Amino acid sequence: MNSTESRYFNSSLIRRSLHREAFDKHLLSIPPGSPSPAFFEQLASCAQELNGTVACQMVLGGSNRPEVDESMVAQVGWPLSWLRGDPCNGRSPAESQAIVISGTPVQPIRVDDRLVGMVYEDDDAVYCQLGGVLPNDIGASRKEQARQFFENMELALAQAGLEFRDTVRTWLYLDQLLDWYDDFNAVRTQFFRERGVFDRLIPASTGIGASNRNGMALLGDALAIKPKTDRIQIFPVPSPLQCPAVDYKSSFSRAVEVDTPDYRELYVSGTASIAPDGRSIYVDDIEQQIRLTMEVVDAILASCAMDWSNATRAIAYFKDMKYLSAFQDYCGQNEINDLPVACLHADVCRSELLFEIEVETVTRRSTSLATDTTGE
């Protein structure tokens, strides 16, 4: 781990860099700050220093922020997902995460003139990162918007020569999720069935209640990978402590592993306090919900010979931000140090669930995973 003076943003920037044969993938955890032209200019400068291109960015903003300056957003030259939720730090309005790709050409993908993705490739696979995908018609019903959303993802992937069945991971943010999550699941399941998703790989996923600056029923991101050779292996990873989500009609895998010649990368879905039989447990007990959730994730990581020290990025979701201290206490007591985690106030998929976390981890094969913490 290297520590150097930060050139960007107001405090520490954590970067995890995965060095592939043909390209580097840099995962940035950007400290809290106020999104502004300067904020995005600094990210662009950081990417330029890495000789790379920003593939996507997620801004976890406050619900009480003033209206977004659309002229500022129009200047952003990469896919952007801007979520509205309460920030975890009352002194700063937003946290952010971004992915930068360097060492290989990165091509933009647009749907209806909106920049929604970046695609790049090497000798082993085509990789497509989607961000800020939306439905088309704000006046349509929520179920109709959900269908439009998945169809737009499919259109974006088709431009990269991929099918929806190549999707490895999705991030789904539903406005007023608790009012229509069952309807959303029905639309997703039907779309997956039509596209043959259940015959290949059910993606890992996060489904969270958060609104977006566009006023649509949902917004989402995705990662899709189309292998060219058998040097890339992609497969679902079960949870040792939870049943498959499809058992209670939610169409996602608990985790998905992507094996390359260079590393093994694990995408753990949004995870909450759910028992092996699918019931929510420890209702109204945030400490126990956090403990069980973290133990469930820990068991998934251990099953893949990884632990929290392998984390490249994470997002924690809180029904009430007063629960943040309980999460911090758990991490401190269990020596989960330097976790590159962003936090958002958001509804989890069941009203009684108070906490959810997703995480990505990497373990090395023949090349190195470099970790840079830049800042004070």
* Cβ proximity of 53 and 100 under 8 Å: yes
| pLDDT at residue 73, rounded to an integer | 75
| pLDDT at residue 293, rounded to an integer | 98
CA angle 38/42/44 to nearest 5° reads: 115
Domain parsing of the chain, residue ranges: 2-374
Q: How far apart are the C-alpha atoms of 211 and 317, rounded to whole Å? A: 14
Q: How far apart are the C-alpha atoms of 188 and 186, rounded to whole Å? A: 6
Per-residue pLDDT of the chain (376 residues; tens, 9 = 90+): 233 334 545 457 889 999 998 999 999 988 777 677 777 888 999 999 999 999 999 988 765 554 556 667 777 899 999 887 655 444 445 788 999 999 999 999 999 989 999 999 999 999 999 999 999 999 999 999 999 999 999 999 999 999 999 999 999 999 999 999 999 999 999 999 999 999 999 999 999 999 998 899 999 999 999 999 999 999 999 999 999 988 888 899 999 999 999 899 999 999 999 999 999 999 999 999 999 999 999 999 999 999 999 999 999 999 998 999 999 999 999 999 989 999 888 999 999 999 999 999 999 875 445 555 554 3
| pLDDT at residue 75, rounded to an integer | 79
The HSE-up count of residue 176 (CA atoms within 13 Å, CB side) is 8
Q: How far apart are the C-alpha atoms of 309 and 16, rounded to whole Å? A: 12
Fold adopted by 2-374: 60s Ribosomal Protein L30; Chain: A; (3.30.1330)
| pLDDT at residue 213, rounded to an integer | 85
Q: How far apart are the C-alpha atoms of 216 and 193, rounded to whole Å? A: 25
pTM: 0.92
